[in-house]
Amino acid sequence: MDNQPHLIPAAAVKGIASGLLMMACFTLIWTGIAYAGLHGTAYAWGLIVFLILAVTFVVNGISLFRLAKHFPKVESEEDKAEGKKMGMWFGIIFGAEGLLIFIAINIVINLGHPELTIPVIALVVGLHFYPMAKVFKRTIDYYLATWSTIIAILSIVFSLNHTLSQPNVLAFTGIGLAVATSCYGLYMAYRGMELPRPGATN
């Protein structure tokens, strides 16, 4: 049946596409942080896998934006209300994340530990996935939140007790968070692949 696309609003498709582009951006950011720690070592070449994934997310995101035009723009009143509620909470969480990052950075700097800047940013990023899981009703957010939070805490501990050098802390944190954003991107890419294509039949 080729009427299956009408069951999914265009906004939902664009939401997945936007998520893919965001994960591409964040994956590149954390990969850049990891590269700053691994620069000049042979291990830096291993980061190319994240670059490939980021490019893949961008390509898939653009493809989904184009696909969205084949889906209806009209949503039910219930869907619109739910979408507005999710958008509101997303904005609140995103704003709170930015504020907490600012506060966390200032705290570690004032405590005389500027080297903890990246780890505490990672900690806030990890923690923000928990309320996101509640808002968007996605189980994967809980896994990514736990993974990212553990990576961040370990980075702080490894830095304070000098288990790792500062470049290695950057690499550890960057790779750990890049894994999280990459997994999120792959999850969204999978959701995008499940969407019906124009002309597809059951």
Walking along the chain (202 residues) 10 residues at a time, the average pLDDT comes out as 57 89 96 94 93 97 91 70 77 90 96 95 94 86 95 97 94 97 95 78 48
Q: Which of 156, 90, 78, 83 is nearest to 123 (CA)?
A: 156
Distance from chain centroid for Cα 72:
27
Residues 6+ apart with CB under 8 A from 35: 44, 47, 174
Domain boundaries, the chain: 4-194
DSSP-based helix, strand, coil % in the chain, nearest 5? 85, 0, 15
Tokens standing for 34? 């990891």
**How far, in Å, CA of 12 to CA of 71, rounded?**
9
**How far, in Å, CA of 8 to CA of 25, rounded?**
26
Tokens standing for 182? 């990459």
* Confidence (pLDDT) at 1: 37
Q: CB–CB of 127/145 below 8 Å?
A: yes
Read off the amino acid at residue 58. V
* Confidence (pLDDT) at 7: 66
Neighbours of 149 (CB within 10 A): 20
Q: What is the maximum alpha-carbon separation in the chain? A: 64
pLDDT in tens, 12-45: 888 899 999 999 999 999 999 999 999 888 889 9
Q: CB–CB of 24/189 below 8 Å?
A: no
* Confidence (pLDDT) at 31: 97
* Confidence (pLDDT) at 173: 97
* Confidence (pLDDT) at 72: 79
* Confidence (pLDDT) at 6: 47
Tokens standing for 52? 């490939």
Burial class (CB in 10 A: 0-12, 13-18, 19+), 95: exposed
The DSSP element (H or E) to which 23 belongs, if any, is helix 10-38
* Confidence (pLDDT) at 87: 78
pTM for the predicted model, two decimal places: 0.87
